[in-house]
Amino acid sequence: MNILVFGLEYYPIIGGGGSYVDYLVKGLANEGKDKIRLVTSGSKNSKKNIYPNLEVLRFKIFNDLYYQRGDIIDGINCLIEQIREFKPGIIHAQHSLPMLMAQAANIVFSIPLVGTHHKTPDHKETINPIDGKRSLFKYVSFSPISQFISSSAVFRSSLIRVGINPQSIDLIYPGVDRNKFSRQSEKKIDNLKKKLGIKNQDLVFLSPVKIRKRKGLEFLANALNGFQIPNKQIKVIITGLPQTADEEEAILKFKNKCNPAILVNHWEFSDEEMPILYSLSDITLLLSEAEGLGMVLLEAMSCGCPVIGSNVIGINEVIQNKKNGELVDYGNLKELRKSITRCLDPKISEKYKNSGEISLTDKFNTKVQAQEHLEVYQKLATRKKTSAGGILYRRNKKSLEVYLAVHDKYGFILPKGGRKPGETLIETAIREVAEETGYKVSNPEYALPAINYSLLENNETFDKEVYFFVFKISKQIKKGSLKLDPGEKIKRKARWVEIKEAKKLLAHKTEIEIIEKLKQVENFLP
């Protein structure tokens, strides 16, 4: 099966959503059974094969959309071309905007669509806000998504709160690339320390965050104000660089709260430097007011760095207090200082490192993540069968006639069949009409709402979704010979009948309902 993963966040764009996608696609590819294509953003259009069965296609339009300067229609068109070319059996969209574009692009294909949200859950700064991001979150969640996969219980709860059926949500925890995030060599550590101006006797506290108010930098600064460790100099690395005046002000406030020399000046760290940063740090701290999960905590654990996090949603799914790290109540300065002191104790630090290793093996494992995703994909791909067909009509004096084919087993039916990979629904309908009736139609006059029903085949129940398009048969449209596939059971004694008679002759109740819908729009047909 071909699996298309679509998201705007991917390295060098930094964030938990991008890390999730990176670990997911590599994990899927390592299973070796399916072909994976990641469609994402880039400064220019490019294609790169990461593994023989994993390719990353970058497009500038998605980079522009991420930075809110692109045309969403161009993005949808680009995605449609990718779907047509790659012929995926599953599409997995990451975050609200990619979900919206995937829903729009998929309208013409009706491929099973999986969605994963990475929007940070609401916290006290944004209680019940009315804004575009949260409106989009709700809109795409109620639009046609076959299944949601949540990377944490927090994200699952967010979906349930807006009314999504819990049975439509699978909770699958992400893993970490253990080959990439591992304890680095002393040579690499010493080289990076030298570049950063860090001495071997310094204590390094790493805050791997963007400069955002909710990330708890003020909490950390207040805790470090006046805090000392005998015979040690504390150094703090905040990986994010200020991009706006507000972020510059936040860094200035941090420096004013404690000794300015505490904060390490640096460049924009590369993806390759992050494992070295975790390895050289004595503690990694994530003190946010809210998090979806906290991928940086998993990365730190994987590199053997003790972790401290605020006891808030998301983070407390990763850290088990005093087992694999420390949890502190947000804003509790005394508690945070005690946790820092405990994590500097060699025995406690070693305990947390060992327990972190167990967490990564047992709960946050890329192989398990990939296998559980594949189970969801396979279930959706095999559970849903999509077909398309045509209602052929002509006007005979004042009445409207439709064309019925005849099935060996069922009797009179409307021409229809299964969608082939890469086909749009209209293309399927046109092909099936030609094969089963001989009429070579082109542009439909009308699209009727899909019909859905359950189908039992070989003791398995499938969800059947059928789309019908209405085609006018004029005198200029000639009838050719039938092109039936081997085993097709369409008799050649088809006929034109009036709508009233068609309702009596049709074998399937669902197709009778389709004819009734056609009757409702009869006056609008040319």
Q: Are residues 400 and 503 in the same domain?
A: yes
Q: Three-state DSSP class for 231?
A: coil
Asked if 420 contacts 182 with a C-beta cutoff of 8 angstroms, the reply is no
**178 part of a folded domain:** no
**498 part of a folded domain:** yes
Instruction: Collect all residues with Cβ–Cβ distance below 8 Å to 246 and sequence separation of at least 6.
Output: none
Q: Which one of 363, 398, 415 terminates a domain?
A: 363
Give me the CATH number covering residue 28. Answer: 3.40.50.2000
Give me the CATH number covering residue 480. Answer: 3.90.79.10
Q: Are residues 479 and 436 in the same domain?
A: yes
**378 part of a folded domain:** no
- Strand 147-150 and strand 35-41: pairing? unpaired
Give me the number of domains the chain comprises.
3
Q: Three-state DSSP class for 16?
A: helix
Above 80 in pLDDT, residue 390? yes
Above 80 in pLDDT, residue 493? no
Q: Which one of 128, 144, 171 terminates a domain?
A: 171
Q: What does the pLDDT read at residue 98?
A: 93
pLDDT band for 126, please (50, 70, 90 cuts): very low
Query: What's the rounded mean pLDDT across residues 501-517?
Result: 88
**181 part of a folded domain:** no
pLDDT band for 136, please (50, 70, 90 cuts): low
**180 part of a folded domain:** no
CA distances from 3 to 12, 97, 380 (A): 23, 19, 12
Above 70 in pLDDT, residue 27? yes
Q: Are residues 295 and 391 in the same domain?
A: no
Q: Are residues 230 and 119 in the same domain?
A: no
Question: Does residue 12 have a cis peptide bond before it, meaning omega lies within 30 degrees of 0?
Answer: yes
Q: Which one of 297, 329, 363 terminates a domain?
A: 363
> Which comes out higher in pLDDT, residue 113 or 120?
113
Above 90 in pLDDT, residue 214? no
Q: What does the pLDDT read at residue 125?
A: 44
Asked if 137 contacts 143 with a C-beta cutoff of 8 angstroms, the reply is no
**199 part of a folded domain:** yes
Asked if 324 contacts 300 with a C-beta cutoff of 8 angstroms, the reply is no
Asked if 315 contacts 309 with a C-beta cutoff of 8 angstroms, the reply is yes
Q: 7-21, 24-38, 113-127, 200-214 — which is least confidently predicted?
A: 113-127
**CA atoms 149, 153, 154, 156: torsion sign:** positive
pLDDT in tens, 231-253: 899 999 999 999 899 999 999 99
Q: What does the pLDDT read at residue 490?
A: 60
Above 80 in pLDDT, residue 485? no
Asked if 318 contacts 309 with a C-beta cutoff of 8 angstroms, the reply is yes
pLDDT band for 384, please (50, 70, 90 cuts): confident
Asked if 360 contacts 176 with a C-beta cutoff of 8 angstroms, the reply is yes
Q: Are residues 191 and 124 in the same domain?
A: no
Q: Are residues 312 and 397 in the same domain?
A: no
**114 part of a folded domain:** yes
Helices vs strands, H then E, count in the chain: 18, 21
Above 80 in pLDDT, residue 144? no
> Which comes out higher in pLDDT, residue 443 or 259?
443
Provide the domain limits for residue 194.
186-363
Q: Are residues 455 and 490 in the same domain?
A: yes
Q: Are residues 483 and 352 in the same domain?
A: no
**375 part of a folded domain:** no
Query: What's the rounded mean pLDDT across residues 185-191?
Result: 96
pLDDT in tens, 342-377: 999 999 999 999 999 999 999 999 999 999 999 999
Q: What does the pLDDT read at residue 14?
A: 66
pLDDT in tens, 53-111: 999 999 999 999 999 898 999 999 999 999 999 999 999 999 889 999 999 999 889 89
Q: Are residues 333 and 390 in the same domain?
A: no
- On whether the pTM is more than 0.85, the answer is no
Q: Three-state DSSP class for 407?
A: strand
Round the average pLDDT of the chain to a whole number and report it: 88
Q: Are residues 309 and 421 in the same domain?
A: no
pLDDT band for 454, please (50, 70, 90 cuts): confident
Q: 39-43, 211-215, 294-298 — which is least confidently predicted?
A: 211-215
Above 60 in pLDDT, residue 469? yes
pLDDT in tens, 1-18: 999 999 998 887 667 788
Reference 62, options 54, 53, 72; nearest CA is 72
Residue in the block written with tokens 């309908």: 429
Q: Are residues 112 and 163 in the same domain?
A: yes
Q: What does the pLDDT read at residue 127?
A: 45
Q: Are residues 309 and 391 in the same domain?
A: no
